Amino acid sequence: MNHLDPIRHVRGESQYLDDVPVQHGTLYAAVVESPVAHGKLLTVDATAALELPGVVHVLTARDIPGENQIGGIVPDEPLLAEGHVHFRGQPVALVLAETEHAAHAALAHVRVEIAPLPIITDPRVAAAQGELLVPPRTFRIGDSEEAWAGCAHVFEGVAESGGQEHLYIETQGAYAFPTEMGGVRIISSTQGPTAVQRHTAHVLGLGMHQVEVDVTRLGGGFGGKEDQATPWGALAALGAFVARRPVKLVLDRMADMRMTGKRHPYSSDFKIGLSADLKIVAYEVTFYQNGGAAADLSPAVMERTLFHSTNTYFIPNVTATAYSCRTHLPPNTAFRGFGGPQGMFVIESAIASAAERLGVPATEIQRRNLLREGDLFPYRQPAEGCHAEQAWDTAAELFDLPARRREVDEFNRTHRWQKKGLAVMPICFGISFTKTAMNQARALVHIYTDGSVGVSTGAVEMGQGVNTKIAQVAARTLGISVDRIKVESTNTTRVANTSPSAASATADLNGKATELACLALRERLLQLASTELSMDYEGLHIENEQVLAAGKPANTSWEKLVSAAYWQRVSLSENAHHATPDLHFDATTNQGYPFAYHVYGTALTTVQVDCRRGTYEVQAVQIAHDFGQSLNPAVDRGQIEGGAVQGIGWMTLEELVYNEEGRLLSNSLNAYKIPDLYAAPKVLDVHFLDTPGHSRAVMRSKAVGEPPLMYGIGAYFALRDAVRAFNPDSTISFSAPMTPEKVLVNLHPEFTPTPSDAWNSPAHSTSATTSAAS
């Protein structure tokens, strides 16, 4: 079965926020941004703007009727700046006008006066000055301090990974309508409808019951709309509340890139100790997370970095510490992997560092230290149903790792100006919100009298196919065709108190709630059938829309049964609640059982580098992945492919650049490159490992959204492998992204990047003979 939505996407029938027909009387909103990254806000003067034609209101913090506060974890983020500004692009005022053009034209006429203050953009500088968003955390197992003495080899180093722009195709936005009795209804492009509802209610001084949030679908979220859809929803609602007219606010691409937070850049110190037989005995790591100007989700992201700091390896002695650092950048936020990728990049760097200095293949160290059944993670949860070795060994056999290695080495022996590189990237990702309470969901299922079914849950469809999976769960549980199921918009009045669609757990949580609701309905209908047909309830089933008694057709169709239920006054609606069992975690000891289960997999990545130009191609990514019993192999394969390519983008092309003034220089698609079809791997194989899945996964189909992003880390190490094949003495730092520019400089360390020097360098005289490959 395919993803249900794409046919409507390509026909242009799917309704995104911007497709909602505009209501008569709508005002358009535009946001006045702070032009500096840090300063004292002296005046906001809208006199000139208000004189322009079509401008109706200019709202500032003073117009907020409730509390000017939208911080999700820490209350440290105003909706509109008040007193100070803390990042460039911070919302300072909201212009409301009769047309979109008038609203944007007015922005330049709002006079904002700011007395500048010192700016920090580097997380290590922030940490040195005590600028932390929350206190640091340390995860510890064994005693790494004691363990160093017993290690045959100890290596230290630094690893840095950059940020990442979400680049959802649909930019942030919301459309708010005043409702009766002083409330608001918001159509929002959010992963977290309840977050928009809660913060809007708080800002407007309303009860949550007076704020309704509705989400049809998102043109991508990738974590960028888990928390950061809230300001736009709340601002549009503020406008509607004050003006008593509908207000539409949609960011254009460059405003979205400037104003919203991204994946957190990290700078980290590592120390790794190995025994003579290459067992990792001890690991110490300190993470400096660039949190930006407010906490947003940074504390939770930082925590997941710690959870995944040992990736898929068993290490008996670990001390992992993380600092969430306050800088004057837009608050960084959730992004596919949620800090996990940043943690995993560092342990892979530590292993590569050890391998390079010992002159052994990194794969030797990786394979020897993979998690086994029952091994403890540093947070004390045991690896249960562990497929780390199965994933590695299957990938190594199926894609013939030894042959790949030989081919790469042989190619590199025979080619001077082209080099290939190879890396293996095993992954292990914990499934559940690490905040235990968030692992709950509800479903509201209505069977209509014609036998069709409407399902509402807290799940937001953002391209990942969760609606398709929920429809499948309902159809399978009720024994009817998926064509009868409609998955409704996500609406806070139908399903309340939802967790955001995030943590890869959306299908598990909402799918299980749907399953429970459908099971209850099925039981109710079969009880009725048992009475009507005078048959034993135990022997009754619904299959292919027919009631079966002891496996034989009972001459009662789904439609007849539903109709009979209505006339017998049996309820055809059900509301079910699911909470993941067994989870607990103590955030003071940093120990517990935070994850429902883990997802495993291994990717082989092969690259080829043009050593004159520094350009490269990802030739193949070959993956063995643990899906469990996939509900929808087409959707799941799509998630692996998309995730892997997005991870490759983070590790290779995507370079976010802020200057010391905190200004985003890579502020458009001219300057910020995401992978296109040419940058995607030429070969992308996905093998479905034979694994049983898990009872805590929906129908044993394991969560799939985030784990594949981390396969992309293999591209960084494969490129590093190729660079070192050309230049074995390279002192290349562990610093991602590995852009073509960085590759070039590392291939030719003596290279001074001015044109005349390049041509005069003896090592690069133009007389060098060209190889067959070039």
Catalytic residue numbers, as ranges: 706
Using the contact rule CB under 6 A, the part of the chain among 91-99, 216-224, 261-269, 549-557 near ligand MTE is 216-224
- Residue of 187, 297, 505, 554 interacting with ligand MTE (CB under 6 A): 505
**By CB under 6 A, is residue 227 in contact with ligand MOS?**
no
Other C-beta atoms lying within 10 Å of the C-beta of residue 144: 23
- Residue 387: closest CA among 601, 604, 686: 601
**By CB under 6 A, is residue 226 in contact with ligand MOS?**
yes
Q: Minimal distance in Å, beta carbon 486 to ligand MOS?
A: 25
Report the site for ligand HPA in 283-342 (rule: CB under 6 A): 297, 300, 304, 334, 338
Nearer to ligand HPA, 300 or 561 (CB): 300
**By CB under 6 A, is residue 696 in contact with ligand HPA?**
no
CB-based closest residue to ligand HPA = 503
Would you give the DSSP letter of residue 415? -
Q: Minimal distance in Å, beta carbon 499 to ligand MOS?
A: 10
**By CB under 6 A, is residue 356 in contact with ligand MOS?**
no
Looking up tokens 């990974």 gives 161
Nearer to ligand MOS, 80 or 300 (CB): 300
Report the site for ligand MTE in 706-745 (rule: CB under 6 A): 706
- Number of C-alpha atoms within 13 angstroms, CB side, residue 112? 30
Beta strands in 354-439 (DSSP E): 418-431
Nearer to ligand MTE, 502 or 718 (CB): 502
Nearer to ligand MTE, 342 or 639 (CB): 639
Q: Which two tokens stand for residue 194?
A: 């309840």
Nearer to ligand MTE, 606 or 639 (CB): 639
In order, the DSSP letters of 89-135 are T-EEEEEEESSHHHHHHHHTTSEEEEEE------HHHHHHTT-BSS-
Looking up tokens 């407010």 gives 294
In order, the DSSP letters of 577-628 are EEE-TT-EEETTTTEEE--SEEEEEEEEEEEEEETTT--EEEEEEEEEE--B
Nearer to ligand MTE, 261 or 705 (CB): 705
Q: Minimal distance in Å, beta carbon 46 to ligand MTE?
A: 36
Q: Minimal distance in Å, beta carbon 383 to ligand HPA?
A: 19
Residues 648, 652, 132: CA angle, nearest 5 degrees: 95
Would you give the DSSP letter of residue 640? H
**By CB under 6 A, is residue 247 in contact with ligand HPA?**
no
Report the site for ligand MOS in 667-706 (rule: CB under 6 A): 706
- CA dihedral 642→643→644→646, nearest 10 degrees, is 80
- Residue of 124, 140, 435, 612 interacting with ligand HPA (CB under 6 A): 435
Q: Is 219 exposed, middle or buried (0-12, 13-18, 19+ CB in 10 A)?
A: middle
Q: Minimal distance in Å, beta carbon 225 to ligand MOS?
A: 8
Q: Is 727 within 8 Å of 747 (Cβ atoms)?
A: yes
- Residue of 286, 456, 506, 746 interacting with ligand MTE (CB under 6 A): 506
**By CB under 6 A, is residue 307 in contact with ligand MOS?**
no
Using the contact rule CB under 6 A, the part of the chain among 127-135, 659-667, 703-711, 744-752 near ligand MTE is 703-711
Residue 165 Cα to chain centre, angstroms? 11
Q: Is 170 within 8 Å of 218 (Cβ atoms)?
A: yes
Q: Minimal distance in Å, beta carbon 311 to ligand MOS?
A: 18
485-487/490-491 β-pairing: unpaired
Q: Is 73 within 8 Å of 300 (Cβ atoms)?
A: yes
Q: Minimal distance in Å, beta carbon 585 to ligand MTE?
A: 19
Q: Is 393 exposed, middle or buried (0-12, 13-18, 19+ CB in 10 A)?
A: middle
**By CB under 6 A, is residue 462 in contact with ligand MTE?**
yes
Using the contact rule CB under 6 A, the part of the chain among 143-151, 330-338, 369-377, 451-459 near ligand MOS is 330-338
Q: Is 737 within 8 Å of 653 (Cβ atoms)?
A: yes
Report the site for ligand MOS in 189-208 (rule: CB under 6 A): 191
Q: Minimal distance in Å, beta carbon 224 to ligand MOS?
A: 8
Nearer to ligand MOS, 512 or 748 (CB): 512
Nearer to ligand MTE, 320 or 640 (CB): 640
**Count, residues near ligand MTE per rule CB under 6 A:** 21
Would you give the DSSP letter of residue 400? T
Nearer to ligand MOS, 394 or 701 (CB): 701
- Residue of 78, 123, 223, 378 interacting with ligand MTE (CB under 6 A): 223
**Count, residues near ligand HPA per rule CB under 6 A:** 12
Using the contact rule CB under 6 A, the part of the chain among 3-11, 100-108, 363-371, 432-440 near ligand HPA is 432-440
| Sign of the alpha-carbon dihedral angle for 515, 521, 525, 531 | positive
- Residue 200: closest CA among 217, 182, 218: 182
- Residue of 464, 514, 530, 630 interacting with ligand MTE (CB under 6 A): 464
Query: What one-letter code names the amino acid at 486?
Result: K
Residue 584 Cα to chain centre, angstroms? 23
- CA dihedral 263→671→462→340, nearest 10 degrees, is -20
Looking up tokens 């690259």 gives 607
Residue 434 contacts which entry, ligand MOS, ligand HPA, ligand MTE, none (Cβ below 5-8 A, type-dependent): ligand HPA
Looking at the DSSP bridge assignments, the partners of residue 159 are 268, 734
Nearer to ligand HPA, 165 or 227 (CB): 227
- Residue of 433, 558, 585, 650 interacting with ligand HPA (CB under 6 A): 433
**By CB under 6 A, is residue 504 in contact with ligand MTE?**
yes
For residues 605-624, b (16+ Cβ closer than 10 Å) or e, as one string? bbbbbbbeebebebbbbbbb
Q: Is 286 within 8 Å of 213 (Cβ atoms)?
A: no
Note the residues at the interface with ligand MOS (CB under 6 A): 191, 221, 223, 226, 334-336, 338, 502-503, 706
Note the residues at the interface with ligand MTE (CB under 6 A): 220-223, 336, 462-464, 466, 501-507, 639, 642, 703, 705-706
Note the residues at the interface with ligand HPA (CB under 6 A): 226, 297, 300, 304, 334, 338, 433-435, 438, 502-503
